[in-house]
Amino acid sequence: MAEVLYVKQGLIGPKLELHIAPEGLTLVQSDTGRTDYAPICDISQVTASKRGRVADLTVTFGALRPAWSLKSVPLASAQWAQSVIAEERNALAKREKPEYSQPVRGNRLHDMCAQIIASGNGNAAVDLVDFIVAQGVLHGASDVHFDPYSDAVVVRFRLDGVLYDVARLHPSIKRQLASRLKVVSKLATFRKSVAQEGRAALKIGDRTVDLRFSSLPTIHGEKVAVRIFDPAKSIFDVADLGMSADMLGSLQRLLMAPQGTVLLTGPSGSGKTTTLYAALSYLRENKRNLSSIATVEDPVEYDLQVVNQTQVNTASGLTFANALRTVLRQDPEVIMIGEIRDPETADIAIQAGLTGHLVLSTVHARSAAGVLLRLIDLGVEPYLLASSVSAVLSQRLVRTVCTKCTGAGCEQCANTGYSGRTGIFQLLPVSDALRECVLKRRSLVELEEQVRAEHVPSLLDDGQAKVRAGVTTQEELTRVLG
């Protein structure tokens, strides 16, 4: 888990390290031949007494353990340690408050933000960021946005794929807020004109969530977005994706095949990653004698124990294609590739699907049939494509009707009538007739005609079945499918 490590050491005196773990700060006294740890929550007092250019730092704990007395610590280090420990202790104390364990609903959230700013103490931005991000997690948001405008900073939560304004902050807080967000995520605070990405961990109650920050300069200041990765939501099960029993059975058969390529398509935020992870989890649990599963992703969104996950890093030359080549040398049985978007990756992936590997990946296209043409555009030979790809799964996410109020609107669903989401799918097995179309380089219109001729249910068909079953609504289906 992410850990921040502060080390301050002067030329003389003992070495002192502060580890900020999700559980809170850990103080480490690491001197010649001796290392001693203490969690910050046990510290009762920390004092630095100045002696010329050095100081004695005394850390006292509860009654159970003796105090640490560090002699001749460089003055700057002692003062620094004292201030960091004090700040972290305040942060820990704050997280005991109810607003860190309960979601604050409706206008109260906006009002509490206004109160924090009005309280006017120097730490308003610190408190605001902690409060808002914690609330985002407690509301089950996937993202928290801080959008700067000339007259306000608008805070938005993305809930079930839809962005909602939850607070408008006074514009005077704009600069401090952006700096604090960057400090938390370890971004370079002095760099204001470039896009940046960073990470942090946040402990809420007894769980720890992973946060990914990105900042982007706009004409009204920096826009910061925080993505929330909650391990509580990282249990992936193909049975929970929202597929009909028939489709689920077909998918499971495709996954159990010894080789082939199964491709997913859908716009960003359509649940493709969740489906891929669910498929990998299924394989891990159900495929006998499975030697190994490897992934190449950008980014790695969840840590899937037992699966070898590789993060693409274009800046250091580890592209999808390079990473994939390396992974293939180790000959895993199953390979998941985050996305096929360049000719090299397309070529390697399709070849791998023909040579004893099961390949799972995503391709950007407007329809399941469009995926096949997209790969031809990327230079894949039609004859290889026709033999390698076993099926294409197209998907979207629709919000589901709140079961607590059955759509009428209640506190649980913030009066939207919706709570949670489910997938709608088209699973297109690549039939012999479709293979023939690919080999003859038929147009998209012709491919789609063939799909219809085979009576493969469309996304709309699947969506309408879910409307009839009362799982979602016609309005929601129209919103998503247009």
Among 294, 402, 438, 451, binds Zn ion (CB under 5 A): 402
Question: Residues with Cβ < 8 Å from 274, sequence gap 6 or more?
Answer: 236, 241
Exposed (0-12), middle (13-18) or buried (19+): which is 228, by Cβ within 10 Å? buried
- Binding of residue 255 to Zn ion (CB under 5 A): no
- Binding of residue 444 to Zn ion (CB under 5 A): no
Q: Which stretch binds Zn ion (CB under 5 A): 99-107, 206-214, 238-246, 412-420?
A: 412-420
Binding mask 354-393 for Zn ion (x = CB under 5 A): ----------------------------------------
- Binding of residue 405 to Zn ion (CB under 5 A): yes
The residue among 25 and 413 lying less far from Zn ion, judged by its C-beta, is 413
Please state, in angstroms and rounded to a whole number, the distance separating the CA atoms of residues 357 and 258.
Answer: 7
The residue among 2 and 410 lying less far from Zn ion, judged by its C-beta, is 410
Taking residue 433's Cβ as centre, other Cβ atoms within 10 Å add up to 11
Please state, in angstroms and rounded to a whole number, the distance separating the CA atoms of residues 141 and 476.
Answer: 19
The residue among 71 and 404 lying less far from Zn ion, judged by its C-beta, is 404
Residue 133 contacts residue 226 (beta carbons within 8 Å):
yes
- Binding of residue 191 to Zn ion (CB under 5 A): no
- Binding of residue 404 to Zn ion (CB under 5 A): yes
**CB-closest chain residue to Zn ion:** 402
Q: What CA–CA distances, in Å, run from 196 to 44, 156, 223, 225?
A: 38, 20, 11, 11
- Binding of residue 300 to Zn ion (CB under 5 A): no
Number of H helices, E strands in the chain: 14, 20
Question: Residues with Cβ < 8 Å from 15, sequence gap 6 or more?
Answer: 7, 9, 29, 30, 31
Q: Which stretch binds Zn ion (CB under 5 A): 7-15, 144-152, 262-270, 406-414?
A: 406-414
Buried b / exposed e across 118-151, counting CB within 10 Å, b at 16+?
Answer: eeeeebbbbbbbbbbbbbbbbbbbbbbbbbbeee
Shortest reach from residue 478's CB to Zn ion, in Å: 21
- Binding of residue 410 to Zn ion (CB under 5 A): yes
Shortest reach from residue 417's CB to Zn ion, in Å: 6
Give the position of tokens 């009707």.
401
Shortest reach from residue 131's CB to Zn ion, in Å: 25
The residue among 286 and 412 lying less far from Zn ion, judged by its C-beta, is 412
Shortest reach from residue 164's CB to Zn ion, in Å: 15
How many of the chain's residues bind Zn ion (CB under 5 A)? 6
Please state, in angstroms and rounded to a whole number, the distance separating the CA atoms of residues 324 and 318.
Answer: 9
- Binding of residue 401 to Zn ion (CB under 5 A): no
The residue among 22 and 420 lying less far from Zn ion, judged by its C-beta, is 420
Q: Which stretch binds Zn ion (CB under 5 A): 72-80, 292-300, 404-412, 461-469?
A: 404-412
Strands 16-21, 24-31: pairing kind? antiparallel
The two tokens of residue 413 are 């669903």
Which residues are near Zn ion by CB under 5 A? Answer: 402, 404-405, 410, 412-413
